[in-house]
Structure 1
Amino acid sequence: MNSFNKKKEDTLKHRLITIAVLIPLVITTLFLLSPTKFGFVIIIICTLSAWEWGQFAGFQSQTKRIGLAIIFAIILLVIQFSFQDITNLINEPIIFYSLLIGIIWWIIAILLVITYPISAFWSNSVVALLLFCLLTIIPFYCGMMILRTISYQNNTFFGAWLLLYIMLLVWGSDSGAYAFGRTIGRNKLAPKISPGKTWEGLFGGLIVSEIISLLFISITPIYIIPNYLLSTSIIVVVISVFGDLAESMYKRQSGIKDSSNLIPGHGGILDRIDSLTAAVPVFAGLNLLIFKWFGF
């Protein structure tokens, strides 16, 4: 028992240290980097995510995983250098179609999660798993870029505030779901994928996310219509839960606990951004393709 408690204390210490380091890095990346440099940071994150995803596809050798990461880095660099004006991406075809595909993909991914393990026909298909990687990472990159640069020529920080809002929303919802699930959770949300998640946790996370949304609107310079933001936020929080569940599904099918050990105490990159890979492209896609950026 003592060794178990010691291990938990060490894990908690690593988590707190990592959080203390990551928070300033996130703020710096969002607010102080130019769109081009911001894009390079996101490409690095996506490249490392692709390297981790190699495990899901059954790549045991580092050579294959590194090769997969290099391929994704090249694809993303080609996309970024193809932009006519990186500060004005609203009319870029690659952005439009990537977000459209991203919304369609996450509808499919939700169905795969809901019907798992019956839906696990893909588990022995390297092609299917690599396609899932492509459909997850490319729309995520495009969503991050369009959100960071939206209204950039009018307000260079607006997109940074918007992305910070989404991150706080998703991470706050996750923390709220954990707290509510631990205290009053009884009914399992997806027992065959993630036994720890409950319906009570989901609703608790939604409550916390709405509180965060109201507070964020009241104290930050985001000038979006609050009702629109709240309604979109609910959808995004629910989608983010399925982003988390989707990665858990891949890990369970592959027999993997963490996507990697790149982040001490937190696992891998995918373990930290799994919810955002769903939330970001869906949020961007809903507003760009459906709500037209709230009239921007």
Structure 2
Amino acid sequence: MLKYRLITAIILIPLVIAALFLLSPAAFGYVVIAVCALGAWEWAQFAGWQTQAKRIVLAVVFAVALLAMQFSFADMTMLANEPLILYGLWAGLIWWVVAIVLVVTYPQSAQAWGQSAIVRALFGVLTIIPFYCGMMVLRTIGYHTDTFFGAWWLLYVMLLVWGADSGAYAFGRTMGRHKMAPKVSPGKTWEGLAGGLITAGIISWLFSLFAPIPVMPDYLLVTSIIVVVVSVFGDLTESMFKRQSGIKDSSHLIPGHGGILDRIDSLTAAIPVFAGLNLLVFNGFGL
């Protein structure tokens, strides 16, 4: 299993970096839509739709909706002014506050949503659509000044989440004693979260020092800390839905890693929240 995880990571990481820096905004959007469609195909199980036909239909619906959204944009390089993008980011900010409450109160919260396929499918909409909006607006932010400006920010969020996750794992394994959400994911501890936040602070500081783009350190640190906390709950939210559905992995699309959602669960929370905070709340990009 470890061998497959390493091989997959060695292949995927260069592909992700290449997509960030080499693809045009439109082409990048098509890649993100493909990822979102696969995520929707996996999410169908969380809604209780187990048959391949229903899962494929949901994936196609998401793909068509996101393609229609992308084709409606007047300028693919100025998405920070697009109402649909802004609505998507606001929806993401609100949803992740709600999701945190659902996780903290699980399994009691499942009494309200656990038996409704429509509600669970709606949760998928609120997870995947804001993720697309966040990915696209971050990639195109400041595009006319520096075509790679947004790519660096997206790479930063990914490194932040992956680094904080590694820090949380290390601290949790060595010092973890107090469970965060034992009824959702017994492996998550408060000590691990503290380790993740320390790691996030270090990554934020290093990025402020060495980033090839202008950075506002205070805003970056504040948003990074918030984003890491939310990213942890992104992971826990998927774990909650898998536990409720009796599923171990969202799929087996990625050898050694499970499914698409298993790999991007933290990012589905981190990306829209980071974009929303910096664009709608703090103006942290200074543009």
Q: In structure 1, the residue corresponding to 2:57 is in which secondary structure?
A: helix
The C-alpha deviation readout for 1:93-126, integer Å capped at 9, x for no partner, is 0011111111111111110011000000211100
Is 1:98 equivalent to 2:84 in the alignment?
no
Is 1:171 equivalent to 2:162 in the alignment?
yes
Q: 1:35 pairs with 25, 49, 63, which one?
A: 25
Give the match for residue 191 of structure 1.
182
Amino acid in structure 1 at the alignment position of 2:89? L
Q: In structure 2, the residue corresponding to 1:64 is in which secondary structure?
A: helix
Query: Structure 1 vs Structure 2: percent identity of aligned residues?
Result: 70
Give the match for residue 56 of structure 1.
46
Q: In structure 2, the residue corresponding to 1:236 is in which secondary structure?
A: helix
Q: 2:193 pairs with 197, 202, 205, which one?
A: 202
Q: 2:79 pairs with 78, 84, 89, which one?
A: 89
Structure 2: how far apart are the matches of 1:293 and 1:175? 26
Amino acid in structure 2 at the alignment position of 1:125? S
The C-alpha deviation readout for 1:245-286, integer Å capped at 9, x for no partner, is 000000000010100000111100000100010111111111
Q: In structure 2, the residue corresponding to 1:266 is in which secondary structure?
A: coil
Q: In structure 1, the residue corresponding to 2:258 is in which secondary structure?
A: coil
Is 1:180 equivalent to 2:174 in the alignment?
no
Q: 1:291 pairs with 277, 282, 286, which one?
A: 282
Structure 1: how far apart are the matches of 2:54 and 2:168? 37
Is 1:69 equivalent to 2:53 in the alignment?
no
Shift of 1:210: 1.2
The C-alpha deviation readout for 1:208-238, integer Å capped at 9, x for no partner, is 1111111222222131211110111000000
Shift of 1:130: 0.7
Structure 1: how far apart are the matches of 2:121 and 2:47? 7
Contiguous gaps of at least 5 residues in structure 1: 1-10
The C-alpha deviation readout for 1:184-212, integer Å capped at 9, x for no partner, is 10000100000001000000011111111
Give the match for residue 243 of structure 1.
234
RMSD after superposition: 0.8
Q: 2:105 pairs with 105, 115, 118, which one?
A: 115
TM-score between both structures, scaled by the size of structure 2: 0.98
Structure 2: how far apart are the matches of 1:118 and 1:162? 38
CA contact (8 A) 2:179 2:189 kept: yes
The C-alpha deviation readout for 1:45-93, integer Å capped at 9, x for no partner, is 0000000001111112100000000000000000000000000111110
Structure 2: how far apart are the matches of 1:176 and 1:289? 29
Structure 1 runs of 4+ with >4 Å offset: none
Structure 2: how far apart are the matches of 1:211 and 1:263? 30
Q: 2:141 pairs with 146, 150, 174, which one?
A: 150
Q: In structure 2, the residue corresponding to 1:142 is in which secondary structure?
A: helix
Structure 1: how far apart are the matches of 2:20 and 2:204? 19
Structure 2: how far apart are the matches of 1:266 and 1:294? 33
TM-score between both structures, scaled by the size of structure 1: 0.95
Q: 1:232 pairs with 215, 223, 233, which one?
A: 223
